[in-house]
Amino acid sequence: MTPEEYLAHDAVGLADLVRRGETTPDDLLDAAMAATAAVNGALNVVVSTFEDAARAAIRAGLPDGPFRGVPFLLKDLTAHYAGQPTGSAWGPRLNRPAEADTELVKRYKDAGLVIFGKTTVPELAMDWSTESRAHGASHNPWNPGHTTGTSSGGSAAAVAAGIVPMAHGNDGGGSIRVPASCCGVFGMKPSRGRNPAAPDGDRWMGMLCEHALTWTVRDSAALLDATAGPHPHQFYNSPAGGNFAAEVGRTPGKLRIAVSTRAPYGAPTHPDCIRAVEAQVKLLEELGHSCEWRDIDLPESGWRDFNMMINAEYATDMEIEEKILGRPVGPGDFAPVIWDIIQRGRTIKATDYAQCLAGTHKVAQAVLSLFDDYDVFLSPTLAKPPVRLGSFDLSVTPEQHYTNYLTWMPYTHLFNISGSPAMSVPGMHDADGLPIGCQFAARPAAEALLFRLAGQLEAARPWADSRPPIHYGA
């Protein structure tokens, strides 16, 4: 299979070729391995490959799922593949093989996907760019001096560069939508509990949601069909989904859309990001939708409460790690600000933590009340175009670290708190050739509505044929 043949199809299309006998899973894996070899040296987005395991899965007979034979990459965080490390770009985890697949990985395998590697992440997903001491910087295929975003940046860049048509990602505060925006691909964060978190349990009070980065809307919808659904052993579960793939191409009707470019908690928004939203508003109105400018008014304590929750979660995670390692962790194990965050998390009283959770519930109420009057909320995905690599110093204080978050990605975390589905849709490119995405969100469990809208936008202004300068076959 030539690069042109491989890149001519999304994941649904590749699976159809396999189904019709026009190619084989081995041929597709050959193409994915060739693509990895061609671009990973320049981009540094695939941290490990396990081709032998992928070939063995093919020889054993792949399940007759909707993506039978399609090559796939896992983000190197939370998604355990038995026998392979889930390194999280953190030294003590780099060489620790997983004992079993997570439930999501089992569902990927049941869908027929051929998983052959892992993609880069920041250290413990706590840098606002996909850079780490363990693996170095991942480079944006549109302009390699710039970030791929956080923390699914390796997956987003792998999709943008043509290594795979879709790759796993997860999102606790924007980590699917942010890299989707930076790399010019489609990124859907599902509702809380839509995809399984078993067996490790829910992360960040169910705010960490699992799904993928994709070139096309239909791939995202079809993959969610393959993986979504309740799991009897986890705390949060969304209702069983419908047929999301069937929603793509259906008219969304005339939608009432609230629009805002005022970043939560006062961060300035770059003019290019505002222009991207304004262009979307023009397109939406041409498509018959009603757009009104409407900001979300949030509790003043909301950002502090979200920070406190993150600090406590990281401290708890490291107490579990100490039991696995059989030793205390210390400052030498982490970038400086991550250690400071862990230390702060260890000082939080249970009563303070309970109050911070109550505060995040008030944020959720403020966000969700918007959907009493509107179907969809539109904003920039990010407050700036993709920043240059090295923009975030991990030797700063936690206060400055979180300020850096707010000045870069203030729009996304609200919908993790609310449990809403939210997506980043490619919008425009800036003068440096870098993509700028727009975020659309809806009430919880309204993925079908967003997929209908995304399909309409994709049909009106297709983005999948636009390839970055660094990509397979270039």
Kindly report, residue by residue over 53-68, the tens digit of the pLDDT: 999 999 999 999 999 9
Cis before 151 (ω within 30): yes
CA–CA separation, 322 vs 247, rounded Å? 46
What's the pLDDT at 458?
98
List, for residues 373-412, the tens digit of each pLDDT value: 999 999 999 999 999 999 999 999 999 999 999 999 999 9
What's the pLDDT at 35?
98
Phi then psi dihedrals of residue 379, to 5 deg: -150, 170
What's the pLDDT at 235?
79
Q: What kind and span of H or E run contains 414? A: helix 414-418
* 146 found inside a domain: yes
233 pLDDT exceeds 80? Answer: no
201 pLDDT exceeds 70? Answer: no
CA angle 132, 138, 140 (to 5 degrees): 145
* 387 found inside a domain: yes
- The two tokens of residue 358 are 């109550």
Residue 230 confidence class, pLDDT cut points 50, 70, 90 = confident
Q: Which domain holds residue 92?
A: 3-460
* 219 found inside a domain: yes
Catalytic residues, by residue number, are: 75, 151, 175
Number of domains in the chain: 1
CATH number at residue 433: 3.90.1300.10
Collect all residues with Cβ–Cβ distance below 8 Å to 182 and sequence separation of at least 6.
Answer: 140, 146, 147, 148, 149, 153, 156, 382, 386, 434, 435, 437
* 455 found inside a domain: yes
Residue 198 confidence class, pLDDT cut points 50, 70, 90 = confident
List, for residues 436-462, the tens digit of each pLDDT value: 999 999 999 999 999 999 999 999 999
User: How do beta strands 256-259 and 136-137 pair?
Assistant: unpaired
CA–CA separation, 211 vs 213, rounded Å? 7
* 470 found inside a domain: no
What's the pLDDT at 179?
98
354 pLDDT exceeds 80? Answer: yes
* 465 found inside a domain: no
CA angle 227, 251, 260 (to 5 degrees): 85
DSSP letter, residue 248: T
Whether the CB-CB separation of 392 and 148 falls below 8 Å is answered with no
Whether the CB-CB separation of 423 and 186 falls below 8 Å is answered with yes
Length of the chain: 474
DSSP letter, residue 187: E
Alpha-carbon separation of residue 384 from 69, 261, 270, 436 (angstroms): 38, 12, 5, 8
Whether the CB-CB separation of 364 and 370 falls below 8 Å is answered with no
* Per-position DSSP letters for 35-91, written without gaps between them: HHHHHHHHH--EEEE-HHHHHHHHHH-----TTTT-EEEEETTT---BTSB--TT-G
Q: Is the dihedral of CA 310, 311, 316, 321 positive or negative?
A: positive
